[in-house]
Structure formats: C-alpha cells, structure tokens
Chain A
Amino acid sequence: MDINIGTLLGQTIAMIFFVWFCMKYIWPHILNAIEERQTKIADGLAAADRGQQKLEQAQAEAEDIVAEARKQATGILDQAHARANEIVADGKAEGVKERERQLAAAKAEIEQETNRAREELRGQVSAIAVASAEKILNREIDPAAHDDILGKLAQEL
C-alpha cells in the first residue's frame, strides 16, 4: 500500500497514452458513425413523411381520375345503347322496305307471268276457237275473209 513513484509514473504514462489513442483513433470515428446514422434516420423519416403525403395526393388524384373515367364510361355506354337501338330500328325499317320491295318484285313477276300465261292462253284459246270455228265453218267460211273478225274477237278476250 506504499506510494511509489514507479507505479504512479507508469500508470500516468499509460493513461496519457490510452486517452490520446482514444481521442485520436476511437472517439471521433464512433461518434461520426452515430451522428451519421442519426441524420440518416432523420432524413429517412422526413422522406417517409413526404412519401406519405405524395401517396395521399396520388390517391386523391387517382380517385378523381377513376370518377372521371366512370362518368365517361357511362356516357359511352349510353351512346352505344342509343346507337344500337338506332341500328336495330334502321335494320327493321330496312327489312320492312326490303320485304316490300321483294314483295312488289314478286307481285310484278307474278303479274307478268300471269299476263304472259293469259296471253298464251288467249292465243291458244283463239287458236282453238279459230280451229273449232274452222272445223265448224270449214265448209262455209273462208278463213281469209273472216280473219279480221277473229282477230278482233281474240283481242277482246
């Protein structure tokens, strides 16, 4: 327990060296790392805040856009419905017209056919009449003399 200079001096020199080493090579490095991390964390938190704000903004914007799009879609749908109805109506009218046209054509054809048949029939009837009349009047009537009368007859039929 005696005080002795040797130990005192030795310990003092050791302490000076240790404190110097700590001051030069340990303390600044570690404290720098701590402070750097602190600023990084603060920056990160600020960035997170900003990100949150931006996210909220973006969400609001997105909602606006979606609402707008929905409105447009409804408009387009309405238009499409109207157009579809129009097309259907058009089609119907066209169909009716076409049917009438076809009907008219068919009727005309039938008429034509009828006329043709009637004409033919008339010719045949007149031929038969002439033939029968010829046969009846074979002896007394000259076909050449009475052809105009027969023609008139055939015309009236």
Chain B
Amino acid sequence: MAGEGGNEAGGSASYISHHLQNLQFCNKDGEWVWNDCAGNFWAVNVDSIFWAVFLGLIFLVSFRAVAKRSSADKPSRWQAVVEMIVEFVDVSVKETFHGKNKLIAPLALTIFVWVFLMNLMDLVPVDWIPLASYMVGIEYMKVVPTTDVNITFAMSISVFLLIIFYSLKHKGLGGFIAELTLHPIAPPLKGPGIIAAPFIIAFNFILESVALLAKPLSLSLRLFGNMFAGELIFILIALIGLFQLPLHFGWAVFHILVITLQAFIFMMLTIVYLSLASEKH
C-alpha cells in the first residue's frame, strides 16, 4: 500500500485519509449502515471501541491471573512484573494523594496500563492490521484507540465527573461553589468595597470555571494530540518507500518513550486532579 500510494499526490492523500478513517457504524434514515456516518452524532467508532475493549480485557485477564494466584512466598516471573507495575502506581498514588480512597489507586492502575496498551498499538506497523482486515472485507481499521479523540474524551470526562463528585463529597456544595467564586481574588465582604463583590465573584467564577473545564480538555487533548501526531508520522514514513525502515525504527524507538510518558502523565494528572478535589482548604 505504501508503494502504490507514494507515487502521486492524490494517492498519498487518500492513503493518509484512509488510515485516519474510523470504521463507523450508525443508523442512517432508519437503517443501520457502515461507514456512511459523516456528521452523524450517534455513530459508533467500532474499531476504536473494539481495540480499546480488547486491550482492556488483556489488561484485566493478565492481571487477574496474577491476583488469583498471588502468593507472598514464591512469586512467578509474571507476578513480579505485575507487582512492579502495581507498586509503581501505588507509590505514585501515595506520594500525591493523602487520605483514604479505595478507588483512586485501582483507577490509576487501570488508566496507566490501559492507556499504555492502547498507545502500544502505535508500534504495530501501520499497514499490517488495516491490510489484514481489508483482506477479510473490513474497509477501515484504525488500530490505535488513543488516536481517536472520542476515546480520550470519554476517559477524561469520566475523570472530570469524578473530580466533581469528590469535590462535592469532600467540600460540600457550598465549599465547591466557594472554591469556584472566592478564588483567586477574595471579594471584600465589608465596607464600601462590597459593591465590587459581585463583579469580583463573577470574574473569579469565569476564571475558575475555565480552569476546571481545562482539566479534562487538556487531559484528553494532550494524549490524543501526541498519539495522533505520532501515528500520522508513522503513516508519512510509510509513504516514502523502501527507505522507511530505518526511519520507522528511529521513530518507533522515540515513540516508546512517548507512549509510556503519555500513559504516565494521564495517570499522574488524574491522581493530582482527584487529590486536589478531595483536599480541604
């Protein structure tokens, strides 16, 4: 595909856009159709969901195997690997999040491993899986779920909802509203300056709301942007013919750092946001 696409500009453009097209499934005019979903708000990116769930299940099954047979005495090699990851996440959580919470550590572990696995699909040569699925009649196949903005947004919105939930739980509704309105400029509550208070509160509210909303937005767009750009570069490298091999190798080596780092950042920021949400002032 790389060879035939590289010859002409139109070919390479269609090659790239073909690679960036999700396999979609939606209901169009009362009929369920594949890949005719442009602008359809209710469509499902089947390939993203499939790979995300598939990789998530790999995570669950492989870690569950350890959890079921975990013994303190004679850890198997795989158990040692899993425990290393678990302990790494546990330390990260404990360093940042003080207080008791049963959800945050497993959430961080799931996010870290899952995002890492989804990013890892980027290292599979870009044509292998799409070509194989093309041969069995599936026209589009985007194998890296984190290059789909829906996937990253779904995760960051879940985190965002947890932020709201923990803010309300630990600070109460009043505390949460106070946090949104009384910072960063404390409005004067006495004297003639009280006239200015509503404006200051409005100003604070706008500022804090933007800051709050920027959290999920930056969380998802950072991951999406990194992975999308990486994927795009892999696709571009695939276009240049035979010389792609050393370039592919170089970019893949660099990308190993990126995928691990992005998984770690997503996990770490989740922990930080949630610990900020459950802190009392």
Instruction: Out of A5, A23, A34, A40, name the residue touching B42 (CB < 8 Å).
Output: A5
Residue A12 CB within 8 A of the other chain: yes
Interface residues contributed by chain B, number (CB under 8 Å): 54
Instruction: Give the distance to chain B from A8, nearest Cβ to Cβ, in Å.
Output: 5
Contact of A16 among B43, B64, B109, B158 (CB under 8 A): B158
Cα distance A8–B220 in the bound complex, in angstroms: 12
A30 touches B82 (CB 8 A): yes
* Residue total for A at the interface (Cβ-Cβ under 8 A): 32
Closest to B103 in A: A23
Interface residues of A in 1-47 (CB under 8 A from B): 1-12, 14-16, 18-19, 21-23, 25-27, 29-34, 36-37, 40
Residues of chain A having any CB pair with chain B under 8 Å: 1-12, 14-16, 18-19, 21-23, 25-27, 29-34, 36-37, 40
Which B positions have Cβ atoms within 8 angstroms of A? 20, 24-26, 37-45, 48-49, 52-53, 56, 59-60, 63-64, 66-68, 70-73, 75, 79, 82-83, 86-87, 90, 102-103, 105-107, 109-110, 114, 145, 148-151, 153-155, 157-158
Known: A12-B157, A26-B66. 15 other contacts (CB 8 A): A2-B43, A4-B42, A7-B49, A10-B44, A12-B155, A15-B158, A18-B60, A19-B106, A21-B64, A22-B109, A26-B60, A26-B64, A29-B68, A33-B70, A33-B79
A-B contact pairs, 23 of them (CB 8 A): A2-B39, A2-B43, A5-B42, A7-B49, A7-B154, A8-B157, A12-B155, A15-B56, A15-B154, A15-B155, A19-B103, A19-B107, A22-B106, A22-B110, A27-B106, A29-B70, A30-B66, A31-B105, A34-B72, A34-B86, A36-B72, A37-B72, A40-B73
